[in-house]
Structure 1
Amino acid sequence: IGLAIYDSERRLTLANPAVAELFGADPAWFAARPTLRETLDRLREARQLPEQANYPAWRAQLFTLFDDVARASYEERWELPDGRSIHVVGRPHALGGIAFIFEDVTEAIAMQRWRSTAVEVRRATLDALADGVVVLGPDGQTRMANPAFVTLWRLGERFDDAPRHVSDIAAACRALIGDDPLWTRICGAVSGVGGRAPWSGRVSLANGRALMARIAPMPDGSTLAVFSDVTDSERIAQALRERADTLESAADMRNALLDQISHRLRTPLNAIMGFAELLLENRVGAVPPAQRSYLENIREASDGLLEGIESLADVVSTGSHAAGLQVGDVSLTAVLRGAAGLLERRLHERDAVIDLSAVPEDAAMRGDPARIRQMLFNMLAHAAAAAAPGEVLEVGAARRDGRTEIWCACSGLSAADAGSPSLTLARRAAELHGGEIVVTGASDGPGRILCRLADV
């Protein structure tokens, strides 16, 4: 703190070293006892005075202090060009003249501004919160309450910025809370009667809303109460629980359907197929040629129906715990030949055939044999149904870019076939193998079903 004393003639009689240090001046210059005018002019030249629109008038105003030294009183904060703030106080000195005290308050002003900004930020943060917040002092009066608190408790115009006692707030909230002891608990936390341990709990309001209330003691003896509206989150949680129950029921129904497919469809179909085989193998006597043809039709139809049942069971089980892939080596050549054999009679009736010449003898991949067999049968069955009389269905397989491609081409295929039931079943099996099925059609050539699969 700098001290400078000027006598009644406005001449410096005493200046401590802090004055020269504060204004960056030469101590020897102050030792020469300059006048107040000389001091102010020198400080102005060194840009150690606040900028003034009318410097002579401002300086003259300081000189008037010496007109009546006994009553002189001066206090001002000088904002210097270098950013510092100097608090200047002038008072009569006991030995005559005026004593000026200079104090650098730059840091204090910065701290005050920081605190003001921090308070404003905290206030703005609380105002922006969706949770209702109220701070109650040890005397029970509100120290702070954000708009969400007023809205949650529907205090409206009854609540303003003036401090309110916790008992008045409790009375205003009674219409919403009824006999719930929440506000009694808060009053006890404020007074200390009920203890000041933190507490949290759920509260149901008369308007159907649900709040999660939290009470916590503050270091200065105040009490913080926070109220969160959990109505929507509880409704979502309830909806999720109901959805989980629905999914569990659907899983039970799916498992029941799998049992029905297994026992009500597979078992009698296997019996039909078994008896047809016995008759075709002449186990019970010779079968006339005409009847043999009928039996072969029964066997072929049964094989196709069994493939359909297997596909249906696969769709039902997809997504269940039993839907994991049973991975093994799959000979695509054997699978495609088997599917073509099952469809041979159906194609023969239309004078159509399947050409497997584009399928290499060693075509193979890693995957689930049962699902790949069902997938390829559905692909070929759909193409066979779309084939024109006398047409040759071209089937091929190849490895490209680390993936296995199987395709089938015939004139009756178009992009609209992609949504057919048989190709939908095939697509699900392909997706389980990290693959896809694409159907394309061309006006000037055959359409194509292309299946791309990755090894698993």
Structure 2
Amino acid sequence: MDLERFLPLLIGLLLGAWMLAAAWAVLAARAREKRTESQLRSARRLARMVEESPALPLLVRSDGRIEASPRLAQWLGLDAVPQYLSELDGQGRGLPRDKLAELTEAVRRCQKTAAPFRMVVTPEGSTRSLALRGHLADPQVSPGGAALVWIFDFSDSESELARLREEAARAQGDFHALVSLIEAAPMPMWFRRPDGEIQLVNSAYVAAVGAESAEAVVAGGVELVEAVDGLTPAQVAQQAAEEGAPVERVVHTTIGGQRRALRVSDLPLGEDGVAGYAVDIEDMEEMSRSFKAFRDAQRSMLDQLSAGVAQFDAKRRLTFANQPFQRLFSLPARTMQDPPAFERLLDTARVAGRVPEVRDFPAWRRERAAWFAAGDTHEEAWSLADGTHLRIVAQPVPDGGLLMIVEDRTEQLRLSAIRDTMLRTRTATFDSLFESIAVFAPDGRMQTWNRRFAADWGLDSEFLDTHPHVEALLKKIASRLKRPAEAETVGTVVRAATLDRTQKGGRIGLADGRMLEFAGVPLPDGNGLLAVLDITDSQKVEDALRESNAALIEADAIKTRFLAHMSYELRNPLNSIGGFAEMLEHGLGGELNEAGKDYVGSILQASGQLGEHIDSLLDLSQSEAGMLPLKREEIEVMPFLRTIAEERGQRLEKAGLTLDLRASGLMRPLSADRRRLARAIGHLVDNAITASPRGSRILVQVSRRKADGEDRVQILVQDKGKGMDSRSLARALEGMKVSSDGKRVERRQGLGLPLARQLVEAHGGTLKLVSEPGQGTSAIVELP
């Protein structure tokens, strides 16, 4: 029972003890974990510090295996750290064989005797310098006698030491070279102590002062130059040392018995002293004087040139401009007092309108300013707004300046253009001539020809382009002549024009039936002109004209005989008809009834109209033949026109028309043939009556006007009819005309207008018709 009572208590105690033990175990495990983590962090930090340190450890165990950082493989040029020391030789990489063997021996000796060692190696194919320091490793690092080798990269220190050694050697060599250079220098050179006393001189100084040796010069304090303005050379050197700036001056002294100009320079060298040298500039001074004289002479000569010349220095400033240049660029007189820069000169010239007009002037100006840096000559043409043409030549000079030459080529270009125009005009004129021409030199060779020449003689262009001799030309054209022997006459004409300076000509027939007329004319320049004209057509026309002239003479005779008999042949039957009709009308043949009287009246009226037509036909024929006789008399214009209007009163009344007769101012009498002028005006009025619609008005107006300083009478006949177009007007004025074959007469319109025109022109006047469709017709007669 007691056991049952204490059993739960024991179990509880056991469970509590177990829980306490478990809690202690957990706490102890956490403490160990923290310590482990702390040790790991410390180990990582130490490992990282070793990795970042300038020295890398290499642990070599007794069996030859090695442990090292991957950085060591990079230093040795290997991809990875090998397992054994003997593998540090990587076939062109890693340690050289001799150094690896030395390192292996040193490690073996250190492992056996604990003797430390040091050595320096350079990996193959690398400029890196490595320092190796080895000793026996601590047992805590590696038990069993391992060797620990620390490797340092001292490449920078080694390079710096090598550079310093090289610079020291170079400086020593430079010092010796400088001393030798100073000694061998052709100019006097010296060195003074801070107190101004001479300490060192070269051979040139000794020779200049005429001393025996440099020691004698230093001991005696012999000066090269004399005192200037109360200052000795030593005092000038002390002044340069005090100011800390070089002093340069030009002095004159006697060297070798001659007075020479020297440029003396004193250069302070801090606390060490003052160096000096003297340059003989006597030749330069003489050259400068000669150059100045040459420049003055050259500029005087440039002022006489017609071309403009300007010189610019290396700073691009104008140093000289001759008078033509100033005139061409319109430079004011004060320009040479304050010489402008090149760009400002272009600006001034632009204001004066002496540069070309360009869209982007600043860019154009920069392009011209680049002439100073160019290596070759630039040439271009400037066309100014006023028509001036300038030729610009820009020549860079060795001193960095520029020589600019300006030539006014306006007149030359104008003459060239005139010459080109004349040559083109001459060529066009030659090629447009009906004559074929060729120019021969005194040696007989052809110089110039036109296209017609080749066509007339049947020559090809390839042959003429060779400028053949006259003999070769004659051989070519001989085969084309009707009689080849006549070719020599052409050669005779050419030789007469070129050698004898005489003019000759002739005619020649070609085999194709053409006839050519040629002539040789001497020219002022010594050449000879051969002119050839194809007269084949004119010859044929001349023959035809002779035949036509004979036919015209015969026709004129026939026309004269026709006109002589026309009046009798036409008027005699007509007079007979009219006479018999009048006899019947007066009852000589018996009393006529009313119908008979009407028939007789119609016969009389028709015979009267036929008589008028015959008169018109005779007048027209005589006018065309130039045989129209005029009986001139003084005619008052208004009564004359009124009579013409009254004669047509019945016809006007029958047509329902009104005739308006007007006069502008007082009219002078006309000298004319009343009957024929009345017939001309009457025909114009008759045409107006025929063309006018019923109820319209016909205007007849007479006026005076001045024409070419002559007082003329103008008669206007105007109707309001349908009008005519230009073709109808032309046909109306033609009337009747002879056909083209001369064998028949073609009737175009009535005889009224052509007869009126012929009659007016026979009086020395003009007839003009003005008409438009729908606007009526105006006939204008002007009489002197």
> TM-score w.r.t. structure 1 length?
0.59
**Distance in 1, Cα, partners of 2:531 & 2:773:** 65
Pick from 312, 321, 336 the counterpart of residue 626 of structure 2: 321
- The 1:393/1:114 distance shift into structure 2, 3 A limit, reads closer
SS at match of 1:311: helix
Deviation at 1:230, TM superposition (A): 4.9
1:425 matched to 2:751? The reply is: yes
| Corresponding letter in the other structure for 1:264 | E
Deviation at 1:46, TM superposition (A): 3.2
Kept after mapping to 1: 8 A contact 2:436/2:450? yes
Kept after mapping to 2: 8 A contact 1:127/1:148? no
**Distance in 2, Cα, partners of 1:375 & 1:46:** 91
Q: Deviations over 1:159-193 (max 9, x none)?
A: 2444422100111111233433432323542685x
Pick from 38, 46, 61 the counterpart of residue 320 of structure 2: 46
Q: Which residue of 2 aligns with 1:288?
A: 591
1:264 matched to 2:569? The reply is: yes
Q: Which residue of 2 aligns with 1:134?
A: 438
SS at match of 2:603: helix
Between 1:231-240 and 1:156-165, the stretch displaced more is 231-240
| Corresponding letter in the other structure for 1:19 | Q
**Distance in 2, Cα, partners of 1:17 & 1:400:** 91
**Distance in 1, Cα, partners of 2:682 & 2:416:** 78
**Distance in 2, Cα, partners of 1:120 & 1:359:** 68
* More contact order relative to length (CA 8 Å, sep ≥ 6): 1
- The 1:114/1:256 distance shift into structure 2, 3 A limit, reads same
1:306 matched to 2:611? The reply is: yes
**Distance in 2, Cα, partners of 1:251 & 1:167:** 54
SS at match of 1:216: strand
Matches within 5 A, 1:163-182: 163-179=467-483, 180=486, 181-182=488-489
Kept after mapping to 2: 8 A contact 1:340/1:354? no
| Corresponding letter in the other structure for 1:182 | T
Q: Which residue of 1 aligns with 2:83?
A: none
| Corresponding letter in the other structure for 2:752 | A
Pick from 186, 202, 205 the counterpart of residue 493 of structure 2: 186
Pick from 285, 290, 301 the counterpart of residue 22 of structure 1: 301
SS at match of 1:304: helix
| Corresponding letter in the other structure for 2:492 | R
Deviation at 1:306, TM superposition (A): 0.7
Q: Which residue of 2 aligns with 1:370?
A: 675
Deviation at 1:262, TM superposition (A): 1.2
SS at match of 1:318: helix
| Corresponding letter in the other structure for 1:428 | P
Kept after mapping to 1: 8 A contact 2:522/2:529? yes
Q: Which residue of 2 aligns with 1:213?
A: 518
**Distance in 1, Cα, partners of 2:753 & 2:569:** 27
Q: Which residue of 2 aligns with 1:69?
A: none
Q: How many residues align?
A: 384
**Distance in 2, Cα, partners of 1:150 & 1:440:** 54
SS at match of 2:530: strand
**Distance in 2, Cα, partners of 1:448 & 1:167:** 74
- The 1:279/1:232 distance shift into structure 2, 3 A limit, reads same
Deviation at 1:111, TM superposition (A): 9.9
SS at match of 2:624: coil
Deviation at 1:339, TM superposition (A): 5.8
**Distance in 2, Cα, partners of 1:10 & 1:80:** 38
Q: Which residue of 2 aligns with 1:101?
A: none
Q: Deviations over 1:57-105 (max 9, x none)?
A: 759xxxxxxxxxxxxxxxx99999995899x9xxxxxxxxxxxxxxx99
**Distance in 2, Cα, partners of 1:232 & 1:52:** 70
**Distance in 2, Cα, partners of 1:38 & 1:407:** 87
Deviation at 1:422, TM superposition (A): 11
**Distance in 2, Cα, partners of 1:119 & 1:286:** 97
Kept after mapping to 1: 8 A contact 2:571/2:611? yes
SS at match of 1:321: coil
Matches within 5 A, 1:15-414: 15=294, 19-24=298-303, 45-46=319-320, 55=372, 58=375, 123-128=423-428, 129-130=430-431, 131-179=435-483, 180=486, 181-186=488-493, 188-189=495-496, 192=499, 195-219=500-524, 221-230=526-535, 251-252=556-557, 254-278=559-583, 280=585, 285=588, 287-290=590-593, 294-323=599-628, 326-328=631-633, 329=635, 331-338=640-647, 353=654, 366=670, 367-374=672-679, 398-402=700-704, 403-404=714-715
Deviation at 1:140, TM superposition (A): 2.1
Kept after mapping to 2: 8 A contact 1:371/1:429? no
Q: Which residue of 1 aligns with 2:332?
A: none
% identical equivalent positions? 22
| Corresponding letter in the other structure for 2:592 | P
Kept after mapping to 2: 8 A contact 1:358/1:396? yes
Q: Deviations over 1:313-335 (max 9, x none)?
A: 23323333124654443744545
- The 1:153/1:110 distance shift into structure 2, 3 A limit, reads farther
**Distance in 2, Cα, partners of 1:358 & 1:38:** 95
Q: Deviations over 1:215-258 (max 9, x none)?
A: 12345543332334455666777777777777666655544543
Kept after mapping to 2: 8 A contact 1:382/1:422? no
**Distance in 1, Cα, partners of 2:578 & 2:381:** 106
Deviation at 1:427, TM superposition (A): 2.0
Kept after mapping to 2: 8 A contact 1:378/1:423? no
Structure 1 unaligned segments of length 5 or more: list them. Answer: 1-5, 26-36, 60-75, 89-103
- The 1:143/1:450 distance shift into structure 2, 3 A limit, reads closer
> TM-score w.r.t. structure 2 length?
0.38
**Distance in 1, Cα, partners of 2:659 & 2:750:** 25
Kept after mapping to 2: 8 A contact 1:438/1:451? yes
| Corresponding letter in the other structure for 2:320 | A
Kept after mapping to 1: 8 A contact 2:581/2:600? yes
Kept after mapping to 2: 8 A contact 1:435/1:452? yes
Q: Which residue of 1 aligns with 2:354?
A: none
**Distance in 2, Cα, partners of 1:256 & 1:323:** 15
Between 1:293-302 and 1:234-243, the stretch displaced more is 234-243
Kept after mapping to 2: 8 A contact 1:415/1:440? yes
SS at match of 1:159: helix
Q: Deviations over 1:273-332 (max 9, x none)?
A: 2344455556xx574133655544432222121112112223323333124654443744
| Corresponding letter in the other structure for 1:23 | L
Deviation at 1:266, TM superposition (A): 0.9
SS at match of 1:133: strand
Kept after mapping to 1: 8 A contact 2:436/2:451? yes
Kept after mapping to 2: 8 A contact 1:372/1:429? no
SS at match of 1:134: strand
- The 1:334/1:150 distance shift into structure 2, 3 A limit, reads closer
Kept after mapping to 2: 8 A contact 1:376/1:426? no
**Distance in 2, Cα, partners of 1:286 & 1:271:** 15
